[in-house]
Structure 1
Amino acid sequence: MNLIESKVIQTKFEKEIFIDEISNIELSGFQYPNKNIPYYEMMVGVDLMRIRNNEFYGTKKSYFGLRITEDLQSIVVFDPDQQSIFAVKNELEKQAAIELIDYLLIESPKFKELVRKMIYNNKQTNVVSDIEIQEHKAKLSVLEGLLNVPNLDVKIAVQKKKIAC
């Protein structure tokens, strides 16, 4: 028998179930440090099955953001403006979402497999200019850091993303 790892967030109205499969995880929106933002940033999306009144209620994609310092020594989880995994949740429900994020970043074999695939694909990418080479190396370093999250300083505090005017 092949058991699949899953995590459940029990909310007031429903159960949000994450099944640990590569197809249920998305890494997107990679941003490089610049003069205004001194860290790497990316979004992590997870597909959640919704169960209400013991019946399937559909799926939804929820996101959380990662900010990784330029020296690749710490990660901060932040709350995105839209489709947040923390949206419409009380403190206990947010704690369950934090436990899911902790599981994804530190324990999930499928998250690690996805990151390894991204590293492999990134290494196969043909880069030409000096800027592309630098960005390519930086992205590889960040992805490789995600394989070793237990060795980093992870701050899982629900921080609202502030957008400069």
Structure 2
Amino acid sequence: MNLLESKVILTKLEKEIFIDDSSNIELSGFKSPIKKSPYYEIMVGLDLIRIRNNEFYGTKKSYFGLRITEDLQSVVVYEPDQQSIFAVKNELEKQAAIELIDYLLIQSPTFKELVRKIIYNYKQANEVSGIEAQEYNAKLSVLEGLLNVRKLGVNFAIQKKNIA
């Protein structure tokens, strides 16, 4: 028997269930540092199963953002503007979401394997030139850094991202 790891966020209205499978995790929106924002940024999307009144209520994709410092020494989790995993949650529910993110970044073998697969595919498509080479190397470094995230290196900034 092959059991899957799952995590549940109990909210006032429903249960949001994350099943630790690579098909339920999306990494997208890689951004390199700019003067206004000296961080690398990546969006992480999680497919969650929704259960209401003990019945299947559908699925939803919830996101959180990762900001990684240029020196790759710290990771900050932030709330995106749309489809946030923290949206419409009270403090206890937000704490459950933080525990899920903590598990994903630090313990989840599926997340680590997905990052390794992205790194492998990225290296296979190694068709970069001049200026692109610096961004290519930076993206590889950030992805490789995600494989070594430690609990002490993750900070949570649960507030809306400022876009100005």
Question: TM-score, normalised to structure 2's length?
Answer: 0.97
Matched, 1:39 2:71: no
Once the 2 structures are TM-superposed, how far is the Cα of residue 129 of structure 1 from its aligned partner?
2.0
Superposed displacement of residue 35, structure 1: 1.7
Match for residue 125 of structure 1?
Answer: 125
1:111 is matched with 111
Paired residue for 2:161? 161
**Aligned position for 2:80:** 80
**CA root-mean-square deviation:** 1.0
Identity %: 80
Tell me, what secondary structure is at the counterpart of 2:150? helix
Point out where structure 1 has 5 or more consecutive residues left out of the alignment: none
Name the SS for the 1:95 alignment partner: helix
How far residue 151 of structure 1 moved from its aligned partner, in angstroms, is 7.1
8 Å Cα contact 1:75/1:152 also seen in 2: no
* Preserved contact between residue 65 and residue 77 of structure 1 (Cα < 8 Å): yes
Report Cα offsets for 1:64-115 as digits up to 9, x if no partner.
0000000000000000000000000000000000000000000001100100
- Alignment-derived partner of residue 53 in structure 2: 53
- Larger deviation, residues 142-151 vs 101-110: 142-151
Aligned partner letter, 1:27: L
Structure 1 CA distance, aligned partners of 2:52 and 2:97?
18
Q: How many residues align?
A: 164
* Pair 1:151–1:55, CA change in 2 (3 A): closer
1:105-160 CA distance string (max 9 Å, x none): 00001100100000001111132321211111000000000000017621023132
Structure 1: distance between partners of 2:127 and 2:32: 16
Give secondary structure in 1 for the equivalent of 2:81: coil
SS state of the match for residue 4, structure 2? coil
CA distance in 1, matches of 2:62, 2:8: 14
Alpha-carbon distance between aligned partners in 2 of 1:56 and 1:83, rounded to the nearest angstrom:
20
Larger CA deviation: 29-38 vs 153-162: 153-162
1:85-104 mapped onto 2 (5 Å cutoff): 85-104=85-104
Q: Conserved in 2, the CA contact under 8 Å of 1:42 and 1:66? A: yes
| 2:139 alignment partner AA | K
